[in-house]
Structure 1
Amino acid sequence: MNRTWKVACTAVALAVSASLHAAVLPEHQSNSAWFTDAQAKLSTKLQTNNQFKAKNVILFVGDGMGISTLTSARIHKGQLAGNPGEEGYLSFESFPHTALVKTYNVDAQTPDSAGTMTAMMSGLKTDVGVIGVDEDIERGNCSTVAGNEVITALELAEIKGLSTGIISTARITHATPAATYAKSADRNWEDISDMPEAAVTAGCSDIADQLVNFETYLEARYTGVDVDGIDVAMGGGRRHFLPKDAAFNSPDAVSDVEGDRTDERDLTAEWQTMYENGVYVYDQAGFDAIDTESVERVFGLFNESHMQYEADRGNDIAGEPSIAEMTETAINILDNNENGFFLMVESGRIDHAHHAGNAAGALTDTLAFEEAVMAAVENTDPSETLILVTADHGHVFTIAGYPKRGNPILGKVVNVGSDDAATAADGTPYTTLGYTNGLGFRNLGDETDSDATYALENAAGRVDITNIDTTTPGYHQEALIPLSSETHSGEDIALHAKGPGSQLAQGVIEQNVVFHLINQALGLVNE
């Protein structure tokens, strides 16, 4: 048999085999909900359009939202709705395109938020702890900043004439939001009181100052550039914008002296003077009064430090908007610009709850983050808006044991075929969720502030939880290695994409590729 004939016969045999396979597929298999659901999802993806250019881009960053957090939150969401949980999806997990993202920094196997967000914003990786600069920087050395600054997607969007916005449930000067607009040799230089005298003398500016004077700094760096400044900035961190003087306290100040600044500057007043058409708000009432059709820009600082955890938001003195409310309001302001917009939305408190070893808090904030993504989907045109949902890194957060289907994700492990909690070799039960390191076990009951753990001594190691309800908001999972705070992890995280250009989110990518996806969609850099 010659080779051509052999190949032809093989092809016919394969076709016949495939036909026979399809013909004999059992009806109970082809009619299975699992089977038909998967088939329908694939068909939807095959119908995705091939448009690559977008008018708007929204980048969502769930800080610390690793794969295990997504899985746990997905199950938790389903169980809150009365379902087993495993079969469900977070809204953005149904986006048509997904990639895995490598998160390491230039000098670190396990990264921090400063280096990871700088990568996503600038298109190149850099070191741990530095913002808006490349790897040639020396952390903490002001003199190494000049000449090593990088331009960000937000800055390029400003230059192109797009509207821009930043939202975070952390301090707006914290690493992730700061990496959209600031250049700093140290992520901790949030206001002048955080800076060493040598850095101040050398002429480096604190991060809060760089936010308020963003327009001035950007125009000074690039000759001929004329921008109108960031249109929407909302988050926490008032203390970094106010003088260290009780006379400047906000009505919902927690500290006796709310402000930290030692240069006597009130940056909120400076911003208001600079932008007479702008609105500065600090509480829920001020936020609710924003007229998105007429206001040109908004500066919102809703807490002295980070905004409240979602579970604890009702306890805020003057009230705080949710991340979904901030997202919807920002979009309704930014889309008044016919040229389009770029918006970054960070859920910073997912990360903080994990650092505190409190899975309930992290999952609650993840579900609030999901609502923000849905607010964006519902308030934008899918044919002109690229939505990217990702994280900056993960945490040492695990889903372990062999719990049966539908077992409470925050509960103790109950094995398949049993109604009783499984026990470890030491004879005591254990939870499905846990942490490799951190402060360890807490049984704080209905406490919704994850940070309450820091007032207590380290309790890492095994504890007999036989008579403890592990599903309460204040339960903090056991941890193996005692540390003052749980740490980040080094594994890949997910990127989910929807809209024009989302087709390029595929495979395993370096984190700095996120910038290039944004650039491809908006055409920010002339090539």
Structure 2
Amino acid sequence: MSIDGVTLTRWYNAYDQASGKIDTSKNLSIDQMASGLVRTYWQANGVVGAITDSAPAGTALATGVKTMDKFIGVSEEKKPLATILETSKNIGKATGLVATSQIMHATTAAYSSHFPDRSKEAIIAEQQVYNSIDVVFGGGYGNLQNREDDEDLVNVLKNQGYQYLTDKKDLTNAKNKTWGMFAESAMSYEMDQKTLTPSEPSLSEMTKKSIDILSKDKDGFFLMVESSKVDWAAHANDPIGMISEINAFDQSVKAALDYAKKNEDTMVIAITDHGNSGLTIGNKQTDTTYSKDSVDKFVAPLKKAKLTGEGIGKKISGNTDNLVKIMAEYGGISDLSTEEIAQLKAVLNDEKKDKQALYGSNMQALYGQLISKRASLGFTTSGHTGEDITLYTYLPNDERLTGTINNTDIPKAIAKIWGIDLSKETKNYYTDAKEALEKLGAKVSIDDSDQNNVKLVATKGKTTLEIPENKNYVLLNGKNKELESVAVNVENTFYVNNKALKLMK
């Protein structure tokens, strides 16, 4: 999320389309929380990178450690790192994850799983299911069933005592341990939900329900909420998608603030993991006019849109006969040129052949170009950017994080409040099992007869200890023994909770 995205969203909300008036006093909920800046660079193997990806950025925010590109919850040496979610859980706090992407996507994965490849969502999903998180809301049920390891993770959740939800109407009945999977992969942009996916809840609805459930725990709670598709819209250079999800994020922050201000014992931090797209309010078209251009030049064209670029693509659904009508009715563009119509048809035909952009669709990217041209908005890239990002914090005693800090400082600040030492907890949760068990005199081997369910096996006298990958239990002479954290297998090196080692006599 970029600062210009926040600014554009504020102006968008302030502009009244009917009267053309602008309410300059209109603010976002996050505005009252701005307290500093955050540096987002990555660092590993002696290299410092200015522009980070979501996996190392998420890992920094979750663990307080900088790491390699594509790494999730592991150090540059590929060793698992204890996350602030895991450590808060293990001191008795309730925990929750909410996202509008698939919950296995980079940021939420970094808080709840460990693997040196963010694309391995099947592995990430299994670790998440076995990581005993109290509330999980988002998309991604496609990673829970019809898996190569033949494990039905929905049944696993139900057997663990979770309520499993798939529809917005079921959200009101959620009371305790709950997994809500509202889409096969990512959820829709919030602006598109009413028209295209009315069964999906809003981000603020998921946030409020999470707080309702988690706040019942007398020991307190940790909740991480992500408006995931701000990033995706930025990749597609779709300003409507960006505004949709920044507003969704702001409403979820409001829900958290309302709770925090009422209870006066809660810290709220709102940030992005990195910049994206280089959005500018103003472009080459405004080089000589910017000092005379009023706000409505930049937001009036955007106000005409009723769907994001992704939503428009779904509404057209490959039928180019209704393209012009839908672009006018839902995209807010009624003056398409002959050349633009030809461009749109060519993109739609390409997408029939599954030639898609990295995030979103080529249709969304083209729509972003068309609407941005009309709104005099600029974009420098379809990728991430390296600027410092805004830090938004709230604490009832006003001991907020201020100044310019590092992204790794954020989990450390939370850990300090709760008396947690993240480095120490990493040593407790993720010990090299083979090395430790051999020191105890055990014979250790890897059983990879089932490539999708690899396990470490240790024997010593009459004792056999089996450690299945991605599970929060071990088998001691065939009997399940539950652990506080999952066993992580990285290239046949197993990392396991120290409690498992104590079982080997």
Letter aligned with residue 166 of structure 2 = Y
Of 408, 421, 424, which aligns to 1:512? 408
The 3-state SS of whatever aligns with 2:133 is coil
User: Does residue 164 of structure 2 align to residue 280 of structure 1?
Assistant: yes
The 3-state SS of whatever aligns with 1:495 is strand
Q: CA separation in 2, counterparts of 1:317 and 1:412? A: 25
Q: Give 1:235 shift.
A: 0.4
- Counterpart in 1 of 2:120? 189
Of 289, 303, 307, which aligns to 2:173? 289
- Counterpart in 1 of 2:151? 265
Of 315, 331, 336, which aligns to 2:195? 315
User: Does residue 383 of structure 2 align to residue 487 of structure 1?
Assistant: yes
**Cα-to-partner distance string for 1:107-129 (whole Å, 9 max, x where unaligned):** 53211111111111111111221
Q: CA separation in 2, counterparts of 1:369 and 1:509? A: 22
- Counterpart in 2 of 1:361? 241
- Counterpart in 1 of 2:30? 92
Q: Give 1:409 shift.
A: 3.0
The 3-state SS of whatever aligns with 2:299 is coil
- Counterpart in 2 of 1:383? 264
Q: Give 1:185 shift.
A: 0.8
**Cα-to-partner distance string for 1:451-498 (whole Å, 9 max, x where unaligned):** 8972459869998x9xx9946xxxx967567xxxx1111101011111
**Cα-to-partner distance string for 1:290-327 (whole Å, 9 max, x where unaligned):** 2xxxx221100000110110111123456111000001
Q: Give 1:523 shift.
A: 2.5
Say if 1:159 and 1:500 are closer, same or farther in 2 by CA, change over 3 A: farther
Letter aligned with residue 306 of structure 1 = A
**Cα-to-partner distance string for 1:385-435 (whole Å, 9 max, x where unaligned):** 00011101111211223163432433579xxxxxxxxxxxxxxxxxxxxxx
- Counterpart in 2 of 1:238? 141
Percent of residue pairs identical: 30
- Supply the RMSD in Å over aligned alpha carbons: 3.2
Of 299, 310, 313, which aligns to 1:410? 299
Q: 8 Å contact 1:460–1:480 — kept in the other structure?
A: no
Q: Which is higher, the Rg of structure 1 or of structure 2?
A: 1
The 3-state SS of whatever aligns with 2:268 is strand
User: Does residue 332 of structure 2 align to residue 454 of structure 1?
Assistant: no
Q: CA separation in 1, counterparts of 2:367 and 2:101? A: 27
User: Does residue 40 of structure 2 align to residue 154 of structure 1?
Assistant: no
Residue pairs, 1:86-235, within 5 angstroms: 86-95=24-33, 98-106=35-43, 107=47, 108-137=49-78, 148-191=79-122, 206-214=123-131, 229-235=132-138
Q: CA separation in 1, counterparts of 2:299 and 2:75? A: 41
- Counterpart in 1 of 2:7? 71
The 3-state SS of whatever aligns with 2:72 is coil
Of 265, 280, 286, which aligns to 1:398? 280
Letter aligned with residue 36 of structure 2 = A
The 3-state SS of whatever aligns with 2:298 is coil
The 3-state SS of whatever aligns with 2:100 is strand
Q: TM-score, normalised by structure 2?
A: 0.66
More RCO (CA 8 Å, sep 6+)? 1
- Counterpart in 1 of 2:392? 496
Q: CA separation in 2, counterparts of 1:234 and 1:321? A: 10
Q: 8 Å contact 1:172–1:178 — kept in the other structure?
A: yes
Q: 8 Å contact 2:237–2:368 — kept in the other structure?
A: no
Consecutive unaligned residues in structure 1, runs of 5 or more? 1-64, 138-147, 192-205, 215-228, 244-260, 414-441
The 3-state SS of whatever aligns with 1:345 is strand
- Counterpart in 2 of 1:31? none
The 3-state SS of whatever aligns with 2:112 is coil
Q: TM-score, normalised by structure 1?
A: 0.63
The 3-state SS of whatever aligns with 1:125 is coil
- Counterpart in 1 of 2:352? none
Say if 1:394 and 1:83 are closer, same or farther in 2 by CA, change over 3 A: farther
Q: 8 Å contact 1:171–1:236 — kept in the other structure?
A: yes
Letter aligned with residue 66 of structure 1 = S
Q: 8 Å contact 2:55–2:118 — kept in the other structure?
A: yes
Q: Give 1:233 shift.
A: 0.4
Q: 8 Å contact 2:274–2:385 — kept in the other structure?
A: yes
Higher share of residues assigned helix: 2
Letter aligned with residue 125 of structure 2 = A
Q: Give 1:89 shift.
A: 2.3
Q: Give 1:331 shift.
A: 0.4
Letter aligned with residue 28 of structure 2 = L
Say if 1:86 and 1:282 are closer, same or farther in 2 by CA, change over 3 A: same
